[in-house]
Amino acid sequence: MARMSYLSAIERYEEQQVLIHNLLLSILASVQASLTNKQEYQQLVNQYPFLELQYCLNEQGIQQGYNVCFKRQYKKKLAHVGAGQDLSARPYFLLASASPDPHFTSPYISTATKHLCISVIKMIPSEKGKQQFLVIDVCLTELIEFIMGDIKRARMTPYFRVGYGLIVGCLFCLVIYLLYKVFAGMVDLVLNEDIQSDPLKPFTIIIFVTLALAIFDLGKTILEEEILMHKDIFRHSSTRRTITRFISTILIAVSIEALLTMFKAALGQTEYVIPAVLMMFAVVGLLVALAIYVYLGAKAEDVLTQVQRLKVKH
């Protein structure tokens, strides 16, 4: 499954905004203490892997010194830049210069790291008695993964994608084989003059086509949900959608078998009547159970969403 999408990260940020702000305020206090005592940040970096950049601004919004990079991949590119740039027009600086309270930006794409991030800024006293502003940039997607306890799963994501890719490849190979059987059967049906020898042969071709369609749809679903797109495992709708797709594939397979059995009974093999009827009842039962599951799951998720919104408001 892919890493968290920006839309999912913003939705989670809005749900957990109070918790995130409190966490960033505590980190800001730790960074300020490290600046005052001239200590290293390494312990802070190890504890909070979502930290990206830290820099200071003077009263005019001019950056003082170079960027402090919390991540190794940014040190070569960003560690020796930023000094002297004018950030006085940034909204967070305008807010911070008007009030001593800490301020948070809305989620935005950082021009430095090219990631979705938020910034927190706070006015701090300087050695010369002038106003100074401490700014910290954090990666929002990694922050959400941190507070949701999803860091280890996110690190395993590339290996999961390889596994799902192998499974999808096997499914598509099976689809190619089924299509080969379809075309071979059609050619044989056209060239064979004795059609009455096997009246079920055209239906066999239909079964191969339908199975190929069902397996292709299953492979496409896995490719979309587990490899190309982010799947939010904390939302019931993601699990419900996956289960619905799998049950739908089973329904198609059982329906095809019931249809073939019914055709056999219609051609004189009466011993297949009862199995065909029982399989049709099984299909109906699966459909009813799936409908109830989807309905109750959607209602439960709607209730949970409303509760979360009420918590955010209060």
What is this structure's pTM? 0.64
Predicted local distance difference test score (pLDDT) of residue 148? 79
CB neighbour list of residue 13: distance below 8 Å, 6 or more residues apart: 20, 107, 118, 140, 144
- Asked whether 50 and 142 are in contact (CB, 8 A), the reply is yes
Q: Render each residue's pLDDT in the chain as its tens digit; 314 residues.
A: 456 678 888 888 888 888 899 999 888 888 887 776 766 666 777 788 888 888 888 888 888 877 778 777 777 777 677 778 888 888 888 888 877 788 898 898 888 788 889 989 888 877 666 778 888 889 898 888 888 777 777 778 888 889 999 999 999 999 999 999 989 888 887 777 555 566 667 777 877 888 888 888 888 888 887 788 766 666 667 777 778 877 887 888 788 778 878 877 777 777 888 888 898 899 999 999 989 988 888 887 777 777 766 765 65
Residue type at position 134: L
Predicted local distance difference test score (pLDDT) of residue 1? 47
- Asked whether 205 and 182 are in contact (CB, 8 A), the reply is yes
- Asked whether 134 and 124 are in contact (CB, 8 A), the reply is yes
Predicted local distance difference test score (pLDDT) of residue 288? 93
Measured between alpha carbons, how far is 25 from 177 in angstroms, rounded to an integer? 59
**Six-digit token pair at 272?**
């297949």
The CA radius of gyration of the chain, in Å to the nearest whole number, is: 30
User: Half-sphere exposure of 281 toward its Cβ, with a 13 Å CA cutoff?
Assistant: 6
CATH superfamily of 6-147: PAS domain (3.30.450.20)
| Residue 237: closest CA among 186, 281, 181, 302 | 302
User: Half-sphere exposure of 144 toward its Cβ, with a 13 Å CA cutoff?
Assistant: 24
Predicted local distance difference test score (pLDDT) of residue 193? 59
Residue ranges of domains in the chain: 6-147, 153-313
User: From start to end of the chain, where are the E strands?
Assistant: 51-57, 63-69, 103-104, 108-109, 116-125, 131-139
**Six-digit token pair at 191?**
């060239």
Instruction: For the beta carbon of residue 7, count every other beta carbon within 10 angstroms.
Output: 10
Number of residues that make up the chain: 314
| Residue 189: closest CA among 176, 207, 202 | 202
- Asked whether 103 and 92 are in contact (CB, 8 A), the reply is yes
Per DSSP, the residues of 174-208 read HHHHHHHHHHHHHHHHHH-S-GGG-TTHHHHHHHH
